[in-house]
Each structure stands twice: as structure tokens, then as C-alpha cells.
Structure 1
Amino acid sequence: MGKAKYLSAVEQGMVVGARRTGLSVSRTATLLCFSCSTFYQELPHKLTEQDRQLLKCVLHKNHLSSVTTLTTEYQTASGSNVSTKTVRRELHEMGFHGRAATHKTKITMHCPNSLLEW
């Protein structure tokens, strides 16, 4: 793996300007001759550390809820307007991942009656 390239203040300004005009990340990267992964390393978090702590508290109260439910509960608790995509991204970065158990067939031993009488 190569070393991560961090953008200078001028380059960051060019990226922000291009993104505010409505260009996608990939189109901006092509125009400015950067890789898309460079942009994703540079993107700031939308939530502050206090917001993350509040999100973690909301999650621990309702850890079986869906992301949309968590988002609405977080919005009412914090008063900020964030999308479900932002909440999902922040939860992934904090180490929380949604997992569902697989349904497994029940395996039982089938014995004829003659073997049970032994």
C-alpha cells in the first residue's frame, strides 16, 4: 500500500468549490487529478464527539431498533437534522454493525421404534 496523500488547504478549497457546484466525487477527482479514496480520507465527520456520545446512548437504550428509528430518536434528543445514511456511517465507524442470525434447520436423530426398545 502506498502512503496516504493529504490535500493542502488550496487543494481542499478546490475540492469544496467543485463539490458545491454539484459535481460528484468521482467527477471532481477526475478534474483535479486525484483518486477518489483521497477525498474519502479528507471528508470531515458530520457529527461531533458529543453527538457521537449521544448517538451511542440512544443506541444502547434501543439496541434492537432499526436505523430509521434510531435516527428519529437521535434527532429528537439532539435537535439536529441528520440522515439515516449519516447515522449508519457513524455507527459503522464506532464499531456497531447490524447482523442477523441465519435460520438453521433443526437436526434431530430419527430412530426407528425397534432401536429404542433395546
Structure 2
Amino acid sequence: MTELGQSMLKRTVRRSHQLSAESIAKDLQTSCGLQISTTTVRRELYGMGFHDQTAASKPYITKCNAKQQMQWCKACRHWTQNGT
């Protein structure tokens, strides 16, 4: 893929906020006239740092830590901004 095609691909992804390779390929075909396969779109997006997984929240709190945090919160619930 040429640099012009890569810049068009980046602009399309940033503008539409969609990461479906099929819809991006169709959008590039209609707006820019580029004939590009969905496999090429996927490969280029992966090379640019766009991956097919979303970030998941992983708090890593064990039962022991949760219990200790709750005890600390209960012990400190009467604190004020003055420190008394």
C-alpha cells in the first residue's frame, strides 16, 4: 500500500471511528476511488497499531486486599479535612 493510501486509511478511521475492515474498504472505494481488499485493510490497520480487541478493566483486587481496604475505609470514615 502506498503512503497516500495509508494516509487516506488513517483519515477514514479517525473521521468515522469505525474499525470494521469491510466498512472501511467500502468507504475508501466510494470516497477515494481506491480498490482495496478487506485483508489489506486489516493488515494495514494492525501495522498502524489498531487492534481488534478493546481494553478491559482489570482491577486485580484479591479477597484479602478487598477486606483490608474495607477495614481501612471503615476506620477512617470519620476523618475530616482538618485531620481531626
TM-score (norm 2): 0.58
Unpaired runs of 5+ residues, structure 1, are: 1-46, 105-118
Match of 2:21 among 67, 74, 87: 67
For CA contacts below 8 A with separation 6 or more, give which structure has more relative contact order: 2
Say if 1:51 and 1:78, in contact at 8 Å, map to a contact too. no
Q: Secondary structure at the match of 1:54?
A: helix
**Identity %, equivalent residues:** 40
Q: Deviation of residue 90 (structure 1)?
A: 0.7
Find the counterpart in structure 2 of residue 58 from structure 1.
Answer: 12
2:38 to 84, 100, 103: 84
AA aligned opposite 1:88: R
CA shift at 1:77, angstroms? 2.1
In structure 2, list runs of 5 or more residues that go unmatched: 59-84
Q: What is the TM-score with the length of structure 1 in the denominator?
A: 0.43
Q: Structure 1: how far apart are the matches of 2:17 and 2:52?
A: 10
Q: How far off its partner does 1:64 sit?
A: 2.9
Aligned-CA RMSD value: 2.0
Could you tell me which residue of structure 2 aligns to residue 23 of structure 1? none
| Letter of the structure 2 residue corresponding to residue 49 of structure 1 | E
